[in-house]
Amino acid sequence: MRIVFAGTPEFAVPSLRAAATRAEVVAVYTQPDRPAGRGRGLVASPVKQAATEMGIEVRQPASFRDPGAVEALRALQPDLMVVVAYGLILPQAVLDIPAEGCWNVHASLLPRWRGAAPIQRAIQAGDAETGVCLMQMERGLDTGPVLLEQRTAIAPDETGGQLHDRLAEMGAWVLADGLGLLRAGIAPVPRLQPAEGVTYAHKLDKAEARLDWARPAAELANTVRAFNPWPVAEAALAGERVRIHQAMALDVEHAAGPGTVLAAGRDGIDIACGEGALRLQLVQRDGGRPLAAADYLNGRPGLVP
């Protein structure tokens, strides 16, 4: 079975490795190298780096609007194309090339959280469960029928980064299962997505990272978890901007205005919210490194009420 794999970020690497154990990956498509770091030098995507180590040909078209890029893909004569967080829209002309169509590994339980940031949006919304879906691709955004899925609970303290890593491995397992069935001549049965329950996981924006103390503490705690490790939540703490890497919601009653420091000690810094309080446990000053609340307070003794 000849597979073309398309993916870009670290999330896609386990799926690439899984695909290579089940079939012949004849080429890997990934986005062009991007400037990164202080020197702004061009850096290859994690998928390109992995494919190069595996000795697989890498292709990096800027898009598939160019008919030449479509014909170059067609010349590979793939049986299947596997797409995992590629980042480019595939036109119908590309979806029609592989004999078995195009499969996508998506990090949510479709139709909930279609779109770019399903992992972070699930945590931010307070979802208790998520998972991964193996989906048959069509023109719509994550609208295709689901072939296989795997569910998992979201731990109450799980961060976006931690859940990302778990779902990346789960996605590889689901893909491997699907490829194993296809090789055995037992194609996974497609299940149409229901019309009810559709939500969209819009791309993360750094402007969203600014916490509003007037919001409920539980909502802010979910945002802190979801935005760790990027873009990292931030807020004003007694006149100073800090980034918040870890926090927990406290179900307490108070009459203080939002943003007031209610308590500060070794366990954390409790900030009044519109409902309840948010206990800051790991914070970072501008230009500094993340510090436990107790260490942060050593530099700001005046915070202790």
* Torsion angles phi and psi, residue 173, rounded to 5: -65, -45
CA nearest 27: which of 101, 78, 93? Answer: 78
Nearest to 193 by CA among 270, 271, 112, 299: 112
Residue type, 117: A
Interior/surface letters 96-121, b for 16+ CB within 10 angstroms, e for the rest:
ebbeebbbbbbbbbbbbbbebbbbbb
Residue 42 is labelled as binding a ligand = no
Q: Which tokens belong to 245?
A: 């890497």
The DSSP string of 24-43 is: EEEEEE-PPPEEETTTTEEE
45 is in an annotated binding site: no
110 annotated to bind ligand: yes
Q: Are 280 and 268 in contact (CB under 8 A)?
A: yes
> ∠85-1-68 over CA atoms, to 5°?
60
Contacts of 146 (CB under 8 A, 6+ apart): 110, 133, 134, 135, 136, 190, 191, 193
Which of 83, 87, 86 shows the shortest CA–CA distance to 101? 83
Binding-site entries for (6S)-5,6,7,8-tetrahydrofolate = 108-111
Binding-site entries = 108-111
